[in-house]
Structure 1
Amino acid sequence: MAQKQVRSTPSSARVYRRRRLAVLIALLVAIGLLVWAGFGIASVLRPADPGATEQGTGAVAGGTGSASPQPSQENTNEPTPEPTSCLDGDVSLRASTAQGTHGPAENPVLVMTITNEGKFDCSVNVGTSQQDFSVTSGSDRIFSTSDCVQDPTDTEITIKPGASETARFTWTRVRSAPGCKVINAKPRPGWYGFTAKLGDLTSENAKFELK
């Protein structure tokens, strides 16, 4: 039996053209995405400001990091000098509180700020063996972190010239005594003073209020 020849109808031809058009559109979209991705990668790798990288602070476009200057060939084999301990006068200490007045349900956040006032990098021991946050009311000694320190530690950090490091302590409005003795009396509303200590350094007294 002879097979009948199937002729393409106009409707089937239109379907075929639409399929080809759909494939072509999808291909163009894919190419567009590849080109966009290529520009995205280029923008990430290309510094936003060619001169900024020479200073070591140039931001990289499309990223969140910063570009660091590459060491010259002649300096790559030179050892990096170890920072020396900070000398007297190199470091300043400042006491402050996160806010000046505290409501009945607010615990003061005591802030110790250490600043390198010298011209060179230097290291300082900021461990619990050295630091102390103390609160007074006039001549009355209210609280000190050194009263209850267990297993004091030493922690050396390096501070760059003009840079500062901070340590924070939240005081929960309790009294303390040497040897970590329990004191039931609670500090009353009024003005208090916070003094920060780090080794032989003592800050000026910072005033704050409890409501």
Structure 2
Amino acid sequence: MTTQHPRRRHSPAVYRRRRLAVLLVLILIAAGVWLAIAQPWSSKAQTRNAPPPVAGSTGATSLPVPTGASPSDTPTPTVEADAQPTTVPPASTPTAHAMATAAPCTPANVAVDAVTDQTTYPSGQSPKFSIRLTNHGSTDCTMNVGTTTQKFTVTSGSDTWWRSTDCQSEPSDMTVLIKAGQTVQSATPIVWDRTRSSVSTCSATTRPKAPGGGASYHLAVEIGGIASNGTAQFILY
């Protein structure tokens, strides 16, 4: 007669090790499935997981100049002493976080002004135009100050004589941070050659000349979707 020995029970430690082994296998299987689906090494996954880009993560020091208009040799026009454009030192260059969290500039906190280098121009002298904007708000804001958003317009009475956008070439965007209380201005004025502009005369060698002899003209500007506060009046002789 064969004697059956009772089945020996394993210690609790053995069962714990077995459960841990099974759990580890399940974790490895789940990780393998996730790697196969997510493919974190791929360029698409890196792009998907990267923080959203911020266009032009920079502070405003000056405004770009539209191409297609003649730049002036004079770096900046003369303006009032209390309205000189400020310069942002390199140490205060805003971070991407500052750009991402700042609200867009609006007419409620940013004023745009048309600037001429003189109020009267002798015969043969060409006016030089700039844009000046000031953040009068208590917080920083962002604005696209690129040449795609800039517009200079010269009128005399109801007659529009010149638009900077008529023959503009290669416009570009540039979103910057305008700090609270900061004033910035065109890096270089653009020159009006005292002729009538139109999209059909951009390559013309001659265009109609604007009358002088004391004729009055007005400059209006726009940038970032915000129009200037009124116009700058000047006289041509």
Offset of residue 195 of structure 1: 0.3
Match of 2:231 in 1: 205
Offset of residue 160 of structure 1: 1.3
Q: 1:159 to 1:177 in 2, by over 3 A?
A: same
Q: Of the two structures, which has the highest relative contact order with CA contacts closer than 8 Å and spacing of 6 or more? A: 2
CA RMSD of aligned residues (A): 2.5
Match runs of 1:15-34 below 5 Å:
none
Match runs of 1:64-83 below 5 Å:
81-82=98-99, 83=102
Question: Take 1:176 and 1:193, find their aligned partners in 2: how far apart are those partners?
Answer: 15
Q: 1:173 to 1:129 in 2, by over 3 A?
A: same
Match runs of 1:169-188 below 5 Å:
169-181=190-202, 182=204, 184-188=207-211
Asked if the contact 2:201/2:207 (under 8 Å) is kept, the reply is no
Asked if the contact 2:106/2:226 (under 8 Å) is kept, the reply is no
Asked if the contact 2:148/2:171 (under 8 Å) is kept, the reply is yes
Offset of residue 202 of structure 1: 1.4
Please list every run of 5 or more consecutive structure 1 residues that lacks an aligned counterpart in the other structure: 1-65, 69-78
Match runs of 1:47-86 below 5 Å:
81-82=98-99, 83-86=102-105
Aligned length: 137
Q: 1:120 to 1:180 in 2, by over 3 A?
A: farther
Match of 2:145 in 1: 126
Offset of residue 120 of structure 1: 1.3
Asked if the contact 2:107/2:226 (under 8 Å) is kept, the reply is no
Q: 1:180 to 1:117 in 2, by over 3 A?
A: farther
Looking at secondary structure, tell me which structure has more strand per residue.
Answer: 1
Q: 1:117 to 1:179 in 2, by over 3 A?
A: farther
Question: Take 1:198 and 1:80, find their aligned partners in 2: how far apart are those partners?
Answer: 24
Question: Take 2:201 and 2:184, find their aligned partners in 1: how far apart are those partners?
Answer: 28
Offset of residue 170 of structure 1: 1.6
User: Quick one: percent identity of the two aligned structures?
Assistant: 31
Offset of residue 94 of structure 1: 0.8
Asked if the contact 1:107/1:172 (under 8 Å) is kept, the reply is yes
Q: C-alpha offsets along residues 54-84 of structure 1, whole Å, 9 cap, x if unaligned? A: xxxxxxxxxxxx9x8xxxxxxxxxx963333
Offset of residue 172 of structure 1: 1.5
The yes-or-no answer on 1:87 pairing with 2:87 is no
Q: C-alpha offsets along residues 147-204 of structure 1, whole Å, 9 cap, x if unaligned? A: 1122221011222111111123221212101355546211010110100111432111
SS of the residue aligned with 1:95? strand
Question: Take 2:108 and 2:216, find their aligned partners in 1: how far apart are those partners?
Answer: 31
Q: 1:180 to 1:199 in 2, by over 3 A?
A: farther
Question: Take 2:221 and 2:158, find their aligned partners in 1: how far apart are those partners?
Answer: 16
Aligned residue type for 2:130: V
